[in-house]
Structure 1
Amino acid sequence: MSEVSQISCPECGAEQDARAPFCQRCGYRVRPAETVREGMSALTPEVVERAGMAGTLVKGGEEPERWGGAQEEGRTVMEGMRAIDARERPRPERELPVEEVSTVQGGGEATRWQVSGVVWGSAAVCAVALAWVSWLHVERARDLGGEGDAVAGVEQGPVEVEGGPYVRGLSEQAQSFMMLSCHKIERDEPERCEQEVLLKGEYPERTVAVEAYAIDRLEVSVGAYQACVEEGACEAIDYQGCEVWTPRGLQISLRVPRVLKETSHPVVCVTRAQAQAYCEWRGGGLPTHDQWERAARGAEGGIFPWGDHWESGVANWGERDVVGGPVAGALDGYAWTAPVGRLEQGVSPVGVWEMAGNVAEWVAGGDPLRGEVRGGSWVSHPFELRATARVEQKTDARRTDVGFRCAYTR
C-alpha cells in the first residue's frame, strides 16, 4: 500500500492528506483552481463539447491544438468565468486548581467582516452576475431549508447539566494557534489579532465550578418566538431595522431574506432585551458565560463542541475559499441559517445542538449598553466558532447572525 502524500495547508499550516480538497483544520480550499461560483459548473472540455463551443487554437506555424486539449494546470481565474486564454480553465488532561465562578462578564472585540467585492469586466456584467448569484443563493437556501418539522427525531426540551468543575478558557497552545489563524485572515488589520483584543476573556485557562442547571437543547426558533409574541409576552421582530450580515460583511442594500423568517429556523434580529423577555416567559433567563461555555465544551474543555479539531461539515459557518471568496453552502449545505436541530455531528458533549455556528447567541450581562454573543454564526470564520470566543455587541443590535437559547436554574 503506497504511502499517502502530505501537504501543508496554505492557510493554517496543518499537515494533511494531499488529496483532500479542503484544509481539515481550518476549512479553507487547498486548491484554488478548483473553486467555481456556487451553482455553476467548472468549464471542462466535456462541457465545451456538449455546448458546441469547441474550437481550435493556432500559434504561429504550429499545428492546430484542440481547445482544452492541453493537460496543463489552469491558473486561478475569476470564479465561474473562463480565462482569457481558452486553454487555461478552472478545474473542476491537566489538573488545575478549582475556583469559584466569577460574576465578571468578559469582553471581546466586535466581529467585523471586511466587505469585499469583485471587479468585473463591465458594469453590465457586474449587475447581471450579482443579481443572478443572489437569486441562486436564495433559491438554494429555500430548497435546503424548507418549512417542515425542523426537530423531527430530535429530543426536545432543555438538557440537564451537572454541577461541578469544568475547564474554562484556552490553553497556551490553543491561544497561539488562534492568533496564527487570525493573522492569516486579517492581513489588512493585524491589530485585531493582538491577544488582548482577539482573546479577551478567554485566558488564562483555569478550572471553575458551576452549579447544576438546564439549557435549551436547540436554539430558539422563529416559530417558538412567534408563540411568545402572540401571547403578548414578547415584542414582534423588527425585520425592517435588522442589519443583514453575510460572509461578505454588512449588506446595506439587502433586506432580510425570507428563509431567515421561516418558522423552523433560529430566530434572528432580536435584541438582548427581547431574548431575555422570551426566556423569562419560558421560566428561565439567558445563560451566563459559564453556563453557556460548560454546555458547549463539556467538563474537559474542547476547542469546539465536537472536539479539538476543525470539521468542515458539522457546523453552519461562513465558508470561504483560499483566496477569500465566499462559497456559501458548499460544505455545510446551508447558504443562510440552517433549521434548528439539523447538524447532529456537531452536538456538544452534554447533548446541546448547534453551539458553534448557525447563529451567535446572546448571553446574560449587567451592562445595559454593551453585551456579548457566543459561538459564532453562519457568517463566521472557522476559528471564530471556538467555544471560548466572546464577541461584543450593542445590546440593542438586531442582526441576521445573532439569536439565542435559554438557561434554567435548578
Structure 2
Amino acid sequence: MSEVSQVSCPECGAEQSSGAPFCGRCGYRMRPADTVREGMTPVRRASAGAAEGTSRGVTPSDTSSSGLWAAEEGRTVMEGMRAISVREGLRGDEASLEEGDQARARARDGELRRWSGQVGGVVWASAAVCCVALAWMSWVYLQRAAVMEGAQQVAERGEPGRVEVEAGPYLRGLSEQAQSFMMLSCHRLERDEPERCEQEELLAGEYPQRTVELKAYAIDRLEVSVGAYQRCVDEGACAAIDYEGCEVWTPRGLQVSLRVPRVLKEEWRAVVCVTREEARAYCGWAGGALPTHDQWERAARGVDGGVYPWGDHWESESANWGERDVVGGPVAGALDGYVWTAPVGSYEGGASPAGVWDMAGNVAEWVEGEDPLLGAVRGGSWVSNPFELRSTARVERKATARRTDVGFRCAYGG
C-alpha cells in the first residue's frame, strides 16, 4: 500500500484506507489528524519505513514519537476533549466508584433509619399495650381483692344476720333541747331558703318527745345488699331492678343527665333504686316485713333517745353522708371515704346501741306505711347533710320512687 492511501486507526492502530469513515477493526470514527491517545502526540500517517519497521519487529523505541507506536498506552480521547492521563483516569474511576459507594451507603442508611423507625414504633406500641394490659390486670386484681375483703367483712358481721330487740319502752322524738339545736342547725344550713326550717313542717312526727311501748322483734343488722336482693330475683320472688328508670341523686341534687353508675351495682353495696313495693316483696321472701317507724327508730337510737345512732354529737367518720361544710359547700368523698354508697357494714363506729349498722347515712331506708301512694324513708343517706341524718327524721317519698339514695332493711316479728 502507498504512504498516501494508508492511515493508522488512533484507537487500535490498524492501518486503514484514508477514505474510510470508520476503522474496519474496532469501528472507531476515523479522522485524518489531530485525534490523540491519552497524553500522546497527534497520530500521523504511517510511512513506508514505519510499516516496514513494524513488519520487521522493530520496537516502539526505534520509531519516532510521531509514528504509529505513539498509540500504545491509555485511552482515546473523543474529538475536541482534553487529553486525560492514565493516572487521572484511574482517579476518576475511583472517584466514580467512591461516589457510587457513598450513594449506596446513604440509601442503606435511609433504609435502616426507616426500618429502625418502624421497629421502634412497633416496640413502643407493644410496650404501651403491655402497660395497659398490666394496669387492667392490676385493677381487676384489686377489685377482686376488695370484693373478697368486703365479703369477708360482711361474713364476719353475719349478713343477713339479725339483731334481737327486747320488748319495752323507748323515747320517740326529740327532747326540747335537741329540738332547739335542730332548728338552729337548719337555719344555719338553709340560709338561702329559711322557709324550709318551719318547725311544723321540718319536725313533723318528731316533736314533742313521748314514750312508746314495743313488743320484741328482730331487725337486719345490715342494710340489704345488691347481692342479697339479686338472690331473690334469681328465685323469681323479686322484680329485677330497673336502673334505667332510676333517678340519680347526689349531694348537688337530681342529676338528670347521669345514669346509675356501675359502682352502685356492686354485690356488696347497699341496694338502691327499688320501690317500696319491691322492698316489701324482698322482706316477704326473707320471712319478714318492712319495719314500722317505731321499730326502725328504736333500733336506731336505743331506749335513751340519742340524736344519732352513736350519740348526741356529730361524728363525720361514723357514717357515709353527703359531705358539706358549714356554709353548705360540697366536699364530696373527702371525709367518709366514699363518693357514692359504701359496702354494707362499713362504719363500725356508727353502730346503734342495739348493734345495728348504718342507721344513719349510706342509704335512706323504706319503712312500712298504710298510704298506697305516699311512703316514708328514715335515716338519711350518702347525699344528706348531718342535720338530715338525725335518727328522728322522717322524709316523705312517693311509694313508686326509684332513687340512688334509697334502700331498705327488714324487720321480723313484733
TM-score between both structures, scaled by the size of structure 1: 0.64
Partner of 1:394: 398
Aligned residue for 1:290, secondary structure, equals helix
Aligned equivalents of 1:296, 1:250: Cα separation in 2: 27
TM-superposed deviation, 1:194: 0.6
Per-residue displacement from partner, 1:114-146 (whole Å, max 9, x unpaired)? xxxxxxxxxxxxxxxxxxxxxxxxx9xx97994
What letter matches 2:395 in structure 1? V
- Compare the two structures and name the one with the higher helix fraction: 2
Q: Verify the 8 A CA contact 1:145 1:259 in the aligned structure 2.
A: no
Aligned residue for 1:392, secondary structure, equals strand
What letter matches 1:336 in structure 2? W
Aligned residue for 1:151, secondary structure, equals helix
Partner of 1:185: 189
Aligned residue for 2:372, secondary structure, equals coil
Tell me which moved more, 148-157 or 186-195.
148-157
Aligned equivalents of 1:262, 1:381: Cα separation in 2: 24
Partner of 1:300: 304
Is 2:213 aligned against 1:236? no
Partner of 2:157: 154
TM-superposed deviation, 1:239: 0.3
199, 202, 207: which is aligned to 2:206? Answer: 202
What letter matches 2:363 in structure 1? V
Q: Verify the 8 A CA contact 2:363 2:407 in the aligned structure 1.
A: yes
TM-superposed deviation, 1:331: 1.0
Per-residue displacement from partner, 1:308-342 (whole Å, max 9, x unpaired)? 00001010000013443221121111111010011
Per-residue displacement from partner, 1:27-84 (whole Å, max 9, x unpaired)? xxxxxxxxxxxxxxxxxxxxxxxxxxxxxxxxxxxxxxxxxxxxxxxxxxxxxxxxxx
Aligned residue for 2:157, secondary structure, equals coil
Is 2:269 aligned against 1:255? no
What letter matches 2:191 in structure 1? R
What are the equivalent positions in structure 2 for 1:281-320 lying under 5 Å apart?
281-320=285-324
Q: Verify the 8 A CA contact 1:372 1:392 in the aligned structure 2.
A: yes
Per-residue displacement from partner, 1:2-30 (whole Å, max 9, x unpaired)? xxxxxxxxxxxxxxxxxxxxxxxxxxxxx
Is 2:348 aligned against 1:344? yes
Question: In the superposition, relative to structure 1, how do residues 146 and 398 fare at CA in structure 2: closer, same or farther (>3 Å)?
Answer: farther
Partner of 2:172: 168
Partner of 2:378: 374
356, 362, 367: which is aligned to 1:358? Answer: 362
TM-superposed deviation, 1:171: 0.5
Aligned residue for 1:317, secondary structure, equals coil
TM-superposed deviation, 1:212: 0.4
Gaps of 5+ in 2: 1-138
Aligned equivalents of 1:205, 1:367: Cα separation in 2: 24
Aligned residue for 1:147, secondary structure, equals helix
What are the equivalent positions in structure 2 for 1:77-92 lying under 5 Å apart?
none
Aligned equivalents of 1:250, 1:333: Cα separation in 2: 22
What are the equivalent positions in structure 2 for 1:202-221 lying under 5 Å apart?
202-221=206-225
Q: Verify the 8 A CA contact 1:315 1:358 in the aligned structure 2.
A: yes
RMSD of aligned residue pairs (Cα, Å): 1.7
What are the equivalent positions in structure 2 for 1:97-112 lying under 5 Å apart?
none
Q: Verify the 8 A CA contact 2:225 2:268 in the aligned structure 1.
A: yes
Partner of 2:27: none
What letter matches 1:239 in structure 2? Y
Aligned equivalents of 1:205, 1:246: Cα separation in 2: 32
Aligned residue for 2:182, secondary structure, equals helix
TM-superposed deviation, 1:356: 0.2
Structure 1 segments (4+ residues) deviating >6 Å: 142-145
What are the equivalent positions in structure 2 for 1:131-150 lying under 5 Å apart?
146-148=146-148, 149=151
Aligned equivalents of 1:143, 1:182: Cα separation in 2: 40
What are the equivalent positions in structure 2 for 1:13-32 lying under 5 Å apart?
none
What letter matches 1:225 in structure 2? Y
Gaps of 5+ in 1: 1-138
333, 338, 344: which is aligned to 2:337? Answer: 333
Higher alpha-carbon Rg = 2
Per-residue displacement from partner, 1:260-298 (whole Å, max 9, x unpaired)? 000000000000000000000011100000000000000
Q: Verify the 8 A CA contact 1:270 1:398 in the aligned structure 2.
A: yes
Task: Name the count of aligned residue pairs.
Answer: 270
